[in-house]
Amino acid sequence: MEYSASEIAGFVNGEIVGNPAAKVSELAKIEEAKEGTMTFLANPAYTQYIYSTNASIVLVKDDFIPEKPIKATLIKVKDPYVALAGLLELYQVQQPERKGVSELSFVPKSTRIGKNAYIGEFVSFGENVSIGEDVKIYPNCSIGDNVNIGKGTVVYSGVRVYQNTSIGSACTIHSNAVLGADGFGFAPQTDNNYKKVAQIGNVIIEDNVEIGAGTTIDRATLGSTVIKKGVKLDNLIQIGHNVVIGENTVMAAQSGVAGSTKIGRNCMIGGQAGISGHLTIGNDVKMAGQTGVSSNIRDGQIIMGSPAIEASQYRKAFIYFRNFEKLVARIDELEKELKRLKD
């Protein structure tokens, strides 16, 4: 479908600078855009491209002032990235909606399926599963006994949901995620072997949570592993047994949280961060990528490094890390000079 600049401006509450009749049918990156596409400028590092882009329409911040002529029509908005997110959501809503239960799925009589749900081919349900209204479960998923999935949740192909897992409303579970596998519990024995500790708890996913492809969340030994509402987990993340992740916390790819750690709300955790077990991470904490956390973290701390320290302290120390060889050479020179003076 084609949209004019005036239609788009109306949707994002933006101001048009240029031709209100300019039309687009696709979205593109600013450096690769062609005529008939729309792009956006949110990061100042890409400002150079706005003067050469072939896009017909560009979303820009409302305080943007061009330094050179621009051939594209501009739509000024408060936050271009947020405006783009709204447009992408509109595009997604307009895609053909899937409904119905495939004849190639396995649905026991005890399964309860809400209105307008979609169950794809080769989906397998255990006993006493409850599926809410407007839920979409794509092909080749496995849903265990006593699982509950709330209204409007989307479960993409290849997801495995173990028994007794509870998933809230408006969640998105991406392909090959595993929810509710055994926690890593083994008791050491006198003969250097390990005895497996039964994991009889479950996983609770609250509302509006997104879980990335290949992410695994282990069920609790006792009680529950809890992912609270609004949490966003990237791809390839490991969440250990009995972990609790607070509301609206976000974690980037390849991060890992060991068992029984409690993470607060509104935290931002960078890629490949590693958090040891049985810790308490406060609210509003920020961790840089590859941070290694081995002790409790207070509310509002910004940390980096391994073992983790305050980011400001790390940056100061890093100056010395980079010049370590020079410092050693300087110390050697001073020692030789001191020895010469003594002699």
Active site residue 241: yes
Contact partners, residue 330, CB within 8 Å, separation at least 6: none
Between the CA of residue 304 and those of 72, 297, 321, what are the distances in Å? Answer: 41, 12, 15
**In whole angstroms, what is the distance from residue 216 CA to residue 277 CA?**
16
Catalytic residue, chosen from 160, 174, 241, 265, is: 241
**In whole angstroms, what is the distance from residue 330 CA to residue 320 CA?**
13
**What token pair was written down for 75?**
């739509």
**In whole angstroms, what is the distance from residue 235 CA to residue 203 CA?**
18
For the chain, what's the residue count?
343
Distance of CA 147 to the CA centre of its chain: 23
Nearest C-alpha neighbor of 163 from the set 126, 132, 211: 126
Cβ contact 161:143 at 8 Å:
yes
End-to-end CA distance of the chain: 88
DSSP string, 320-338: HHHTHHHHHHHHHHHHHHH
**In whole angstroms, what is the distance from residue 180 CA to residue 149 CA?**
14
- What is the H or E stretch that residue 33 is in? none
Cβ contact 143:177 at 8 Å:
no
Distance of CA 38 to the CA centre of its chain: 25
Residues with a catalytic annotation lie at 241
